[in-house]
Amino acid sequence: MAQSASSVSASTFRAKAAEMRAWRPENPPSNRDRLELYALHKQAVSGDAPSQVDKSDATPADKAKLNAWRSKRGLSQAESMNLYVAECDRQQRVYGFKPTQQTTTASAASSSTVSPGGTPTNTPAAEGQTSNVLRTPRGLAAIPLLCAAAAESRTAYLTRLKSTSVSNGWWAKQEPLCADPGTIFAAPENMIIHLASGAERISLSIDPEVVPLPLTVVQSFFWPLHNILLSIWILLIFICTLIGSIIITTKTILMGTKRTGISLNSLFLEEINPSAKAANALCASHQALSVRLVGLTLMPLVTICDVASGTVRTTGILSGAILFVIAGITTWWYWICVLPWLAFASTCFVVFVCGGCFALIELAGV
């Protein structure tokens, strides 16, 4: 639960900033999350961003930081400090700690001093860090968490809903992972989240006088829909990541690293190769059946990434990047047409067949 603005003192804020400088997460935070921390810290120590800045010599990373800072315009210092501390706590919960760091972070926070004007340029800390923010997609970083949610059994799902209020549903707290909320690019994710949160709201607010069935029967009906929508969200993250990687790789090939601020090597290391690794992990035996089926549909992505990486090792980074772009573009029909229709058909099957079966199972007390 977020702290109130009055509960965050300047010393707490400085200690948290020092702690985040020493934080080395187990999973790499997304570009968007890193910019969020930067913007809140900058707003707290410097106030509103200037409206006019000479950006002729600014790098893409500098422009992204300035835009993120401007998005916090109007927040008071107390509000900014409060939001910064709350966001730090959230990211540490989401991304975790490296095993050797859990005990060192607290000591770093207590022993370090922070200049009030010293806004972190690249939080969290990383060896050999530069002024550029990481480009690891936020969606890929969240895949393990979504897979764990999809593995929730029906019994665990029903138990969780017993202690969940209508206004505190799991889906109601989610937001798009591949695009900024409120933009048109977030529409596909918003559609999934709104559909799932609506179903969750219905399952939590059924009036026994209107529906003469036990609440657990209705919730069992919605449990398969909950799982399939999680799996479709995972699939959508991979599709969005692939499209984004193709666009960024194409721009870098045509315009050069100096213009885009992104090297082809970093794209392979932080987007393309992690995508293949994450897609392969979906087929592991411990994953839920729906997640494993998603992994099977993503085997073409794994093949494209692996072949492109092999080309990089044999003939060079430019050849591998060009092959990746060509392979991604020529298979557009699979990502844009085939997979969405498969997702739609799966949802219909789950709603009209699986949901009813599990509701009957619960009604029979099996």
CA dist list (Å): 154 to 166, 222, 254, 340:
19, 10, 50, 26
| pLDDT reported for residue 299 | 97
What's the pLDDT at 15?
A: 84
Q: Block means of pLDDT (10 residues each) for the chain, length 366 residues?
A: 54 84 82 84 84 64 79 84 88 79 49 48 48 54 86 90 85 82 85 93 81 85 94 95 93 89 87 92 92 96 96 95 97 95 92 89 82
What's the pLDDT at 108?
47
Angle 63-66-67 from CA coordinates, rounded to 5°: 85
Give me the pLDDT at residue 296, please.
96
- Residue type at position 99: P
Is 246 in contact with 272 (CB distance < 8 Å)? Answer: no
User: How far is 366 from 358, CA to CA, in rounded Å?
Assistant: 10
Residue 311 is predicted with a pLDDT of: 96
Report the pLDDT value the prediction gives residue 198, as an integer from 0 to 100: 93
Q: What pLDDT sits at residue 170?
A: 87
Encoded tokens for 182:
């409120």
Alpha carbon distance 10, 78 (integer Å)? 9
For residue 110, the model assigns a pLDDT of 46
Q: 3-state DSSP call for residue 112?
A: coil
Ramachandran angles phi, psi of 29, nearest 5°:
-65, 155
In order, the DSSP letters of 236-301 are HHHHHHHHHHHHHHHHHHHH-HHHHS--HHHHIIIIIHHHHHHHHHTTSTTS-HHHHHHHHHTHHH
Give residue 7's pLDDT.
Answer: 61
